[in-house]
Amino acid sequence: MRDDLPPVRPRRLRATPAWRRLVAETRLHPAELVLPVFVREGASAPLPISAMPGVVQHSLDSFRAALHEAAEAGVGGVMLFGVPAEERKDAAGSAADDPDGILNVATRIAAAEVGDALVVQTDLCLDEFTDHGHCGVLAADGTVDNDASLERYRSIALAQAEAGSSLLGLSGMMDGQVAAVRDALDAAGCTDVAILGYSAKYASAFYGPFREAVGSTLRGDRKTYQQDPANRREGLREADLDLAEGADVVMVKPATAYLDVLADVAATSPVPVWAYQVSGEYAMLEAAAANGWIDRDRAVAETLLSIRRAGADAVLTYYAAEVAGWIRQGRL
């Protein structure tokens, strides 16, 4: 440092809450948060998810209440997951495109009740609906059949669009899924329905609690179609492929352990980039807070800020409605 320059004292800009607020480089806004919601077929009351304290599988009645709570909090949208009855699961995931299947029923309710206030989004995958728990249909040898799965995705996309979904979250990680679904939607005249590509979705240990949340029957793993956690460049390549196929939004999932990938994608993507703070991330925060090891609210805010700081334009998080409330109260 040159001797003739005045001393640099960055602490000047940290001296008071007003200063810190004025010079903050990253902020949270309710509209940048998306709330994932689970709706269980046949439930008469909300059912707690043991691995995710505070999160439930909703009945249709409690689902309606959750929708209005989210809308009043000002969050950007809701991502809907259906949890079908066990007897409704089969090898093809037939309940996924059944108009009377739980996800499509819930989507119609959401579109009618809060469709003007929230972006109603639906998970387009098969794992919740299949008796084997994989994200696609299986070939005779037990492997996931990519192209046969794409045909199922086409049909599910049309069912979800018909039910009123504004954005389809393609989470199955099949090659060519964005192009297949875009083609099906456009051919059916559903040109205004957007596609969220779960582009960089890793085969992560952090999905464990989610499998309880959706009643997954998975045996084995999904390493042949979800990405290897060791690979960074591959995440950007997958996002580029989805962009070339017509994705309106691209996603990195999970969030916190993949902030490098998120930053890579955000640096080059011409469309919005989202990230999913997944069930395991939520469960870890809740467990540590319950044991008194961390300040829960500060840790939640810090993790969400880190995801936004890395480049996410919006974050799917189970804390969405709660944090939106904090923001509206001036706590963040």
Query: Chain-wide mean pLDDT for the chain?
Result: 95
> Are residues 262 and 232 in contact, defined by beta-carbon separation less than 8 angstroms?
no
Greatest CA span in the chain, whole angstroms?
Answer: 78
Owning domain of residue 216: 28-328
Q: Is 21 part of any domain?
A: no
Q: Is 146 part of any domain?
A: yes
Specify the number of domains making up the chain.
1
> What pLDDT is attached to residue 158?
98
Residue 1: pLDDT over 70: no
Span 192-201, pLDDT tens digits: 999 999 999 9
> What pLDDT is attached to residue 262?
98
> What pLDDT is attached to residue 214?
78
> Are residues 124 and 171 in contact, defined by beta-carbon separation less than 8 angstroms?
yes
Residue 76: pLDDT over 80: yes
pLDDT-based confidence at 9, cuts 50/70/90? confident
Q: Is 13 part of any domain?
A: no
Which residues on neighbouring strands pair with residue 187, listed in sequence order? Answer: none
Q: Is 85 part of any domain?
A: yes
Residue count of the chain, please give it: 332
Residue 222: pLDDT over 90: no
> Are residues 231 and 284 in contact, defined by beta-carbon separation less than 8 angstroms?
no
Span 225-281, pLDDT tens digits: 899 999 999 999 999 999 999 999 999 999 999 999 999 999 999 999 999 999 999
Catalytic residue, candidates 40, 132, 152, 253:
253
Q: Is 22 part of any domain?
A: no
Q: Is 82 part of any domain?
A: yes
CATH label of the domain that carries residue 300: 3.20.20.70
Tell me, yes or no, if 253 is annotated catalytic.
Answer: yes
> What pLDDT is attached to residue 2?
65
Q: Is 269 part of any domain?
A: yes
pLDDT-based confidence at 108, cuts 50/70/90? very high
Tell me, yes or no, if 89 is annotated catalytic.
Answer: no
Q: Does residue 285 or residue 330 have the better pLDDT?
A: 285
- Taking phi first (over 0 means left), then psi (-120 to 50 degrees means alpha), and beta for anything else, what does residue 246 get? left
Q: Is 1 part of any domain?
A: no
Q: Which tokens go with 236?
A: 């950007």
Task: Please state the rounded mean pLDDT for residues 39-66.
Answer: 96
Residue 78: pLDDT over 70: yes
Catalytic residue, candidates 88, 201, 222, 308:
201
